[in-house]
Amino acid sequence: MCFPKLNTVIILFIALITNVSFAQAQESLININNSSCTFNSYKLDMLVKNDSLYKATVLLNDAIRFSKKYNFKDTEAKSYNALGQVLTKMSNFKRAESYHVKALKIYDSLNQDKGRDLSYSGILNSYVLGKNYSKFDSLYPIAQDISKQLNSEIYFINLRYKIKKDYYSFDNASMLESSNIGITALETTNFDSLNYSKNYRIENLKKNLHQSYQYYNAIAHVKLSNFKVEEDYKPLFLINEDELKASISTDINSYRKIASLNYYKYLYYTNSNKNLDSANKYLLKSDTYKYTALNNIELKNIRNGELVDKIINAEQKLATANETRKKEALNSQIFLVSTIIMSLTLAIILTVFYFYFKARKNIVKINEALKASNSKLIAIDKDRLEFFSILSHELRTPIYGISGLATLIDQENDVIKKQSYLDSLISSSNYLSILIDNILQANRLKFDNKTLRLKPDKIEKIVSHVVSTIAVAAKNKDLELIVNIDKSDKNENILVDKVAFSQILINLAYNAIRYTKKGSITINVIEKSRNDEEITLRFEVKDTGIGIKEEHRSVVFSAFENKTFLNKNSSGSGLGLYIVKTLLKSHNADIDFISTPNKGSCFFFEITFQLSMSKENKSTPTLFTHRDMRVLIVDDNKINLLITKKNIEKIEGYSCQTISNGKEAICLVKEKDFDLILMDINMPDMDGYEVTKHIRMFNPYIPILALTALNSSEISAKAETSGINQIITKPYIFEDFKAIILSYRTMYNQSNIIDAEAI
């Protein structure tokens, strides 16, 4: 909170004290030696520090008059700068700026960079406290360039103004960056080697600057984490409260800063640590400092009132000195000035009361907001706990099913029953895989924009894959699964991200199965429009299930919230429809539904795909007889090695060898001739990226496919950089896996043809 500006009082005050004789001053800020004049910066700074603003102003006006009289330009400029500093202390920022500008003009005429450095710093301070941020941003780089050239301590002071500006303008990211720069610069700078702007060094300057930087850095960490990340509260607790008090003892807002420090500690124990006793302790400390700050404001205004009284006394002395010469005029002037001063005094009192009651009102509002926020956080925490309880059940159910069915298969001799158990095992495995994908996808979609990886494919093939995934689940509930797809050209493909799009249909289909006890599930694919380059398809997933009431429409697609009306009917995670809606945004599409309670629902959406015509495969005679494709499988997990080996051996014309160590794999590739490598990413000693980089040093052409459970844009980028040709994400469907492996056999045959033609 800043004090009300007393522009009229200040102008009048300066006019009065300039009439006080220089000879009457008991002391001076300037010293004259051998026709030279020096300015006592230390004495002035002590006056300002001790809040002796009236005395400082009188002495400064004497110094200005004296410097003008004897043409001491350097001293005149220093006096203007100092007067700007005093007026800033009195919260008259506009007038303070004008005096700093006057000083700057004189230094420009004298071509003194050291003086410019001081003037720019004073102007920046007036801009920050006066909330003139646009001017600050335009001047700040110029001021810092001069400070850097001079190796001046002003560089660090200006940086503190920049951090304050970021704090006042709520630019938390910039405040964090600037404070980090300041802390690093302090650690690497020897203050004894600086060229100080004044003729004395400020005591504990480096320590005080570090405390200030550290304070704003801690605040920035907390604000940028939105008061939620526990790690970002750590810098807050590294600040020593007593040292911070000492470093900001001359700051009018010092108690507000200490109050804020304790308030953020209160938030930490409320939001992250959940320690109510500690939270209440710091909230009480924060409120205590807030009230202290308000009391300081009142005291400051009282001191301003005393300053006005001194102005009146100065006027009366001036009136007495000129009484015999201008008695009548002076009486009129006294009456006018008295009226003005009384009005200003009244205005000051009213302003104090206004800010006092406003502050009280704001405190009440803040307390109410804190109560409301606390209630909301409790509700959110309850929802999260409920979700994780549901999620625990959802994960344990298929895991229990998988474990139990595996035991039954081992014990059962009847082939038909074994197959039935095996189908159920596959269904539980598919559901568990989809559930984990949804959880990971929901977390990623909160922070990343989904980037589609478009490749040519047929919509019939994708829908067939979705049906095969959900077929066992539908069969287990005796639900009829119906698929209707409009016919299309057999050579026509669409550009589609198969993984993302399949996830949309699978989630919708599983949702339909989950909430349907009897009847059917229908998937319709309808062609809406087309041209030479695009086709628009409408997708519908219908069920004969429980339906959805219209009053619940607003929360159907919200993560967690949709559980509020589905709990009685199902134990689903509540993420499926949220994932669907989010993924459809990446397709520039949206989803809607029509539903009748107890009769069923129909979810539908439309997507426009780019068309891609597939070319007919023409057989090309080869000069070589076919031989088995030799595959090397690299994985440190024995079960994964076994599964991958069996899947490769099921593909006709393929043989394989396995290895469980990255370094051994490199030696094996050097010794033997392999046509394809399946590489695990996460391995001890040497991961898949490093192994691939080493192989590429002596064999840049062999296809290397990453077989991994990881799936993100970061993984894809690292794989591409290391030289991996493609990523196959586990778990996968065998037919998809087989198609990818066979595609590299085609590439192998084509390369053989090219080599033969070259021969």
For residue 464, which phi and psi values (nearest 5 degrees)? -60, -40
User: Could you tell me if 464 and 444 are in contact, meaning their C-beta atoms sit under 8 angstroms apart?
Assistant: no
Does 186 score more than 80 pLDDT? yes
DSSP state of 192: G
Question: Within this chain, do residues 296 and 442 fall inside the same structural domain, yes or no?
Answer: no
pLDDT per residue as tens digits for the range 435-445: 676 665 555 55
Cβ-Cβ contacts under 8 Å for 102 (sequence gap 6 or more): 77, 80
pLDDT per residue as tens digits for the range 70-103: 888 888 888 898 899 888 888 888 999 999 999 9
Q: Is residue 373 part of a domain?
A: yes
- Report the pLDDT value the prediction gives residue 386, as an integer from 0 to 100: 54
Instruction: Calculate what percentage of the chain has a pLDDT beyond 70.
Output: 77
CATH number at residue 697: 3.40.50.2300
Q: Is residue 324 part of a domain?
A: yes
Question: Within this chain, do residues 537 and 598 fall inside the same structural domain, yes or no?
Answer: yes
pLDDT per residue as tens digits for the range 229-272: 778 788 888 887 777 777 666 565 677 778 887 888 888 888 77
pLDDT per residue as tens digits for the range 27-75: 667 666 655 667 777 777 777 666 677 778 888 888 888 888 888 888 8
- Report the pLDDT value the prediction gives residue 383, as an integer from 0 to 100: 56
Question: Within this chain, do residues 438 and 566 fall inside the same structural domain, yes or no?
Answer: yes
Q: What is the residue range of 550's domain?
A: 431-613
Question: Within this chain, do residues 481 and 538 fall inside the same structural domain, yes or no?
Answer: yes
Q: Which of 328, 354, 385 is the last residue of a domain?
A: 385
Question: Within this chain, do residues 608 and 641 fall inside the same structural domain, yes or no?
Answer: no
- Report the pLDDT value the prediction gives residue 465, as an integer from 0 to 100: 84
pTM listed for this prediction: 0.41
pLDDT per residue as tens digits for the range 697-736: 999 999 999 988 766 667 888 898 999 999 888 877 788 8
Question: Within this chain, do residues 574 and 674 fall inside the same structural domain, yes or no?
Answer: no
Cβ-Cβ contacts under 8 Å for 700 (sequence gap 6 or more): 723
For residue 223, which phi and psi values (nearest 5 degrees)? -65, -40
Q: Is residue 688 part of a domain?
A: yes
Q: Specify the pairing of strand 520-530 against strand 534-543.
A: antiparallel
Q: Is residue 715 part of a domain?
A: yes
Q: Is residue 721 part of a domain?
A: yes
Question: Within this chain, do residues 593 and 489 fall inside the same structural domain, yes or no?
Answer: yes
Q: Is residue 408 part of a domain?
A: no
The burial of 187, by beta-carbon neighbours within 10 Å (0-12 exposed, 13-18 middle, 19 or more buried), is given as exposed
- 3-state per-residue secondary structure call for 98-132: HHHHHHHHHHHHHCCHHHHHHHHHHHHHHHHHCCC
Q: What is the mean pLDDT of residues 110-137?
A: 92
Cβ-Cβ contacts under 8 Å for 450 (sequence gap 6 or more): 444, 500, 582, 583, 585, 586
Question: Within this chain, do residues 608 and 648 fall inside the same structural domain, yes or no?
Answer: no
Q: Is residue 213 part of a domain?
A: no
Q: Which of 347, 363, 385 is the last residue of a domain?
A: 385
Does 752 score more than 80 pLDDT? no
Question: Within this chain, do residues 645 and 603 fall inside the same structural domain, yes or no?
Answer: no
Q: Is the dihedral of CA 309, 312, 317, 318 positive or negative?
A: positive
Domain count, the chain: 3
Q: Which of 325, 353, 385 is the last residue of a domain?
A: 385
CATH number at residue 541: 3.30.565.10
Q: Is residue 103 part of a domain?
A: no
- Among the residues of 601-712, which ranges form H helices? 638-649, 662-671, 688-698
Question: Within this chain, do residues 349 and 459 fall inside the same structural domain, yes or no?
Answer: no
Question: Within this chain, do residues 444 and 591 fall inside the same structural domain, yes or no?
Answer: yes
Question: Within this chain, do residues 573 and 656 fall inside the same structural domain, yes or no?
Answer: no
Comparing 680 with 382, the larger pLDDT belongs to 680
